[in-house]
Structure formats: C-alpha cells, structure tokens
Amino acid sequence: MSDATVKYLLPETDLPTDWYNIVADLPTPPPPVLHPGTLKPVGPADLAPLFPETLILQEVATERRIEIPQPVRDIYRLWRPTPLYRARRLERALDTPARIFYKYEGVSPAGSHKPNTAIPQAFYNKEAGTRRIATETGAGQWGSSLALAGSLFGIEIDIYMVKVSYHQKPYRRALMESYGARCVPSPSLETAAGRAILAANPDSRGSLGIAISEAVEMAASRDDTKYALGSVLNHVLLHQTVIGEEAIDQMAMADAYPDVIVACTGGGSNFAGLAFPFLGAKLRGGPDVRIVAVEPAACPSLTRGRYAYDFGDTAGLTPLTKMHTLGSTFMPPGFHAGGLRYHGMAPLVSHIKELGLVEAVAYRQTEVFAAGVQFARAEGIVPAPEANHAVKGAIDEALRCKADGQARTILFNLSGHGHFDMQSYTDYFAGKLEDIDYDEGDLAQALAGLPKVAD
C-alpha cells in the first residue's frame, strides 16, 4: 500500500552530543551587540545580571561545536531524537513529483521545539545557583516549555504572559501552572515598565515587547532571579540546532538530501535549528541547499522590516542588536500564530539574510490554515498555527516542483502541534478567521522611532 507511513527514527544512542555554532563557518561575523547607553559593544559583565556565565559565553562563542551537557541529554531523551517523516500521503494529495520530508518537534511534553533550549537554560541556571527565572510568553509555547524545565530542575518560574493571550489561551496557562510556574498577565503592576504602560493605557492588551520589559526588569532588580528568552538570541538558536543535527542523520537514513529547507520564522529559533546545520555544511563546501523562511504577512520582519539596530523589548531595557525589525513599538495585529508576533528577527538569521543565504516569503493566515488542514487530513497531525506557515511554504515548493516537472527534495520543520490552539481552527472552520493587516502608519512610526546608531 502506497499509504505506508515512512518514518526515520534515530536510535537514542545517536542523540547528538554537540550543538552546532554557525558563527564558526560564516564569511563575516555578525555585528556586535551594543550597550543602549554607551552604544559600545556589550561585554559579559553587562549581561551578568540577566544570564548565567555559561550562557553568556555561548552567546559570543566562535567554536564550531559546543558539547551538550550529559544532564541535558538525559532530559532530551524524554522525547528526542524526534521523528523525521516522509509526507507520502501529502505528496499524493498534491500529485507532486517532489519528495516532502518533515521533522516533527511536537512530540516534546510541551508540544513544540521550545524545550530544546528551555532545558539547557534551566540546567545552566541551576548550575549557577539561580533560584528563580523570569520570562515572557506570547501564545504560551515558550512559557510552558520553561515551566516544564523549571519543574524538572527545581527552579521557580515567573512568566509574564501577554494579557490578550492570558485571557484567550487559558489552557496554555493551565499547562504552565500544572508544571508549577506562576503566570502573570502583562502589562502588570509588578514592574515599573508594566505600571508605566498601564498608566498610559489601562486597557493595554500587552505585547511580547512589553512582557520582555517586565521579565528583564524583574531579573535585573533581584539578586536571586535571572532572565530567559525563548528565541532570538545566539545561544537559543545554538540549542535548537539539535533539530538539524538529527535531521542530517535522518535524511542520510532516507538516502536523501534536501534541495530546499522550509521553516517558519517569528524570532527565528526553530528555523535556525533546522536550517543552520545544513547551511553550515554548505558553507564548508557541502551540497547546495535553498533555505526559505516563512513569516506572517501581518508581522513581516524579514520581508518588510529594516536591517537596523533596535531594542528587543518595548521599554528599551535590552541591549541593541542589529536585526530585521519592524520597530520595537510596532504593534502586530491579533492574528492566530502568536509565536510569530514579534517585531524583530534573530540577529544571526538577519545577518545570514543580509549575506544572501536565506530567502523569505510572507503568507496571510487564511491560506496558512488551509494548508494546515490539508496537511492534517493527509498526515494525521494537526499543526500549530505557527507551523502551518512552514506547511504552506512546503506545499508551495511542492506545487512548484509539479509545475516544473522537477522531483526536488523538500524538508520542513513541523515545529509544534496545535492542541492548544484549536480555537483558531474553530474560527477558521466558522469562517471567522480574517486576513488582518498591520497598520502601515504604525509601522512607519515604529521605524521612524528606531534608535539612532551610526553603523
């Protein structure tokens, strides 16, 4: 029967022993991170209030391979290595000559790729004696992943959750609380940043940028508390490369190599996690591969943002990083892929885009959900709204193969399942999902407000 499931599972003994650091293979290094006051490159001491030393060193590391600590691998094995599938039923539904593979990260206990970095971040914090970690979360994928990590390592977790999501996604909140984390709707009265926002706008629905400001403030102002970020930063992308490291071995099991790699981009971490190891191989003289980043048309940092120094948060508490940004005050509309509602792109992804190593494409949410439903009915897994962007990108690549009559090999990252996002599917089926656009005036204003930094 041609409907046979084709799954490539690595034995546990083949769990990667190292993360891959693409900085080692880039033709030019990424621009430095700047202190917002001095506009000078930040040093480790500037970051010490927020992160344990090992993570700071990983943030600026230049060696190609960084060992995954044994206790992290011991927990990774709860769900890793994750499966790689050939989407044979989807190929048939599309009647495409393309071979479509996908790496499935939804098998983690939190349902997405996010625990790949939550676990090591909690581990290094535990090693450094951190008692509490403050963080932010949008849709809740990151928050629930850090909550999981906190419960496994015995660290208190305080999560500032974007207020609109806090109320719209009570089940993600319940998941965080099941892991023992404390979840606070943001903006809150717990921080100066939150109080300032609420004073100006008592009805603020919050944003990821605001929630980051709150979490950073709490970490910076308390001796026993550090901060953790679920995407964007170099060390986060580094941890996610476990995805691509496994995928390289699994594609070899399938006797195949991708012509094109597709992943969705919000902050950029699941994208980097799958793509960087393949891109690194190419940079070292290995096989060529196209890399396609798929972003929401309503929050299009790679396709419509400016490559400039900007803050990672709304209140301007973070260092300045050079990235594709819509401006830190940009307010993305309330579309359903909450994990992709961020004004900036990971500096490393942005740098690589500037180097011409990455293509970017933006889609609207109704076409993205149509792709997700087609995928679910063919392959059995209901993707997260974020992952639907990657599905749509992969389907379009496959349809291009059909038009060209070319049997190219497509690999995409199915970064999470949609179990906590079924309201968006309900809305989609009820015809209530609309292609909300961002406000052009808001974007122009946010870009005009970018910090002035001489490049």
Interaction of residue 239 with its own copies, rule CB under 8 A: no
Interaction of residue 373 with its own copies, rule CB under 8 A: yes
Interaction of residue 395 with its own copies, rule CB under 8 A: no
Shortest approach of its own copies to residue 382 CB, angstroms?
Answer: 5
Choices 158-166, 297-305, 375-383, 389-397 (CB under 8 A): range interacting with its own copies: 375-383
Write each residue from 46 to 85 as x if it is in contact with its own copies (CB under 8 A), else as -, in one continuous string. ------------------------xx--xxxxx------x
Shortest approach of its own copies to residue 252 CB, angstroms?
Answer: 17
Size of interface with its own copies, in residues (CB under 8 A): 48
Minimum CB distance to its own copies smaller for 78 or for 407: 78
Residues 93-112 that bind its own copies (CB under 8 A): 107, 109, 111
**Distance (Å, whole) CA 143 – CA 72:** 19
Choices 48-56, 185-193, 350-358, 373-381 (CB under 8 A): range interacting with its own copies: 373-381
Interaction of residue 423 with its own copies, rule CB under 8 A: yes
Shortest approach of its own copies to residue 362 CB, angstroms?
Answer: 24
Interaction of residue 171 with its own copies, rule CB under 8 A: yes
Interaction of residue 89 with its own copies, rule CB under 8 A: yes
Shortest approach of its own copies to residue 304 CB, angstroms?
Answer: 31
Q: How far is CA 52 from CA 48, 83, 259, 410, in A?
A: 6, 32, 39, 38
Residue of the chain from 426, 434, 445, 449 that contacts its own copies (CB under 8 A): 426
Q: What tokens appear for 187 in the block?
A: 């903006």
Q: Using an 8 Å Cβ cutoff, are 361 and 83 in contact?
A: no
Residue of the chain from 419, 437, 444, 445 that contacts its own copies (CB under 8 A): 419
Minimum CB distance to its own copies smaller for 182 or for 222: 182
Interaction of residue 254 with its own copies, rule CB under 8 A: no
Residue ranges in contact with its own copies by CB under 8 A = 1, 3-5, 7, 9, 11-12, 70-71, 74-78, 85, 89, 107, 109, 111, 148, 151-152, 170-175, 177-180, 373, 376-378, 380-382, 418-420, 422-423, 425-426, 429
